[in-house]
Amino acid sequence: MRRHELTDESWAVIEPLLAPPRMGRPIRDRCQVVNGILWKFSTGAAWRDLPDRYGPWKTVYERFRRWSADGTWDRLLAHVQQHSDAVGTVDLSVVCVDSTTVRAHQHAAGAAKRGGQDWPGEAIGRSRGGLTAKIHLACDGQGRPLAFTLTAGNVNDCTQFEAVMAGIRIARCGPGRPRTRPAPVVADKGYSSTKIRSYLRRRGIKAAIPERIDQINGRIHRGESRCRFDRVAYRRRNVVERCFNRLKHNKALATRYDKRARHYQAMVTLACLRLWLT
């Protein structure tokens, strides 16, 4: 087993969801294909530079493209989260929300527009640093990703808060509703808004979000009391920063090379999957 490849234990967890079809031509070894995708993802190299030990590069790319289109990577991530919850390793004692900006390579721009396009601008926007994309993510208390959204780099963080929270759905192995409600939610001042606090209050979730100075001065001017702030819970916010740090060890994620947003989203999902499997 090489550095970028899956261990036998990790492959045993995801193998049931990658079962070969009952009809049709026999396909190449699925573990070999997945390891080829992981090699490309970790090194950031072009598909054509894939080593021969993983088979033809076009076969590996076509399988990655097909699994990205039919939601296979999303199902794998949900399955691994469910498996981790069954053994009691999911930590919902605190959930941290934040975003990170990713520089888009010049080859990531210029994707042809298609009818009924779900991703306006293919999730690439122009900001002070040039062409960028942004990953909005929520992680558990151990720094493992629970849900994320992908937007252009010039999108405000607070606009994606509800979408990220809605993506937290950890299914149970037995009967019962999925786990969707953490204890406190920790975020920085960029998420301090009346809308977000009202959203968390309606769901019965505590908010450990500090107020901005202009909001504090406005409350003092109106004679209102300040929002409660759990400083002990807020000290754990650095787990989301460590999560981003581990995700960006993968070069194909740290710099976006993909023109299509669905392909880059699949790369982020694959990175999240690897964190749960390690």
Q: Is 3 inside a domain boundary?
A: no
Total structural domains in the chain?
1
The first and second tokens of residue 104, run together, are 């888009």
Specify the CATH number for the domain of residue 212: 3.30.420
d(CA 136, CA 2): 31
Residue bearing tokens 């400083």:
231
Q: Is 143 inside a domain boundary?
A: yes
Q: What is the pLDDT of residues 18-39, one digit of tens each?
A: 866 554 555 668 899 999 999 9
Residue 15's CB: how many other CB atoms inside 10 A?
Answer: 14
Q: Is 67 inside a domain boundary?
A: no
Q: What is the pLDDT of residue 143?
A: 94
Q: What is the pLDDT of residue 51?
A: 93
Q: What is the pLDDT of residues 52-101, one digit of tens each?
A: 999 999 999 999 999 999 999 999 999 999 999 998 899 999 999 999 99
pLDDT at 224 over 80: no
pLDDT above 90: percentage of residues in the chain: 63
DSSP sequence for 187-225? --GGG--HHHHHHHHHTT-EEE-PPPHHHHHHHHHHTPP
User: Of 129, 65, 90, 115, nearest to 259 (Cα)?
Assistant: 65
Q: Is 163 inside a domain boundary?
A: yes
Confidence at 225, pLDDT banded by 50, 70, 90:
confident
**What are residue 256's phi and psi, to 5 degrees?**
-85, 125
List the domain range (segments joined by +) for residue 164.
91-110+121-255
Q: Is 157 inside a domain boundary?
A: yes
d(CA 27, CA 30): 8
DSSP-derived secondary structure letter, 4: T
Q: Is 82 inside a domain boundary?
A: no
Is pTM beyond 0.85 here? Answer: yes
d(CA 151, CA 233): 28
Q: Is 96 inside a domain boundary?
A: yes
Q: What is the pLDDT of residues 151-196, one digit of tens each?
A: 999 999 999 999 999 999 999 887 888 988 888 999 999 999 989 9
Which strand (E) or helix (H) includes residue 68? helix 57-69
d(CA 180, CA 71): 21
Q: Is 83 inside a domain boundary?
A: no
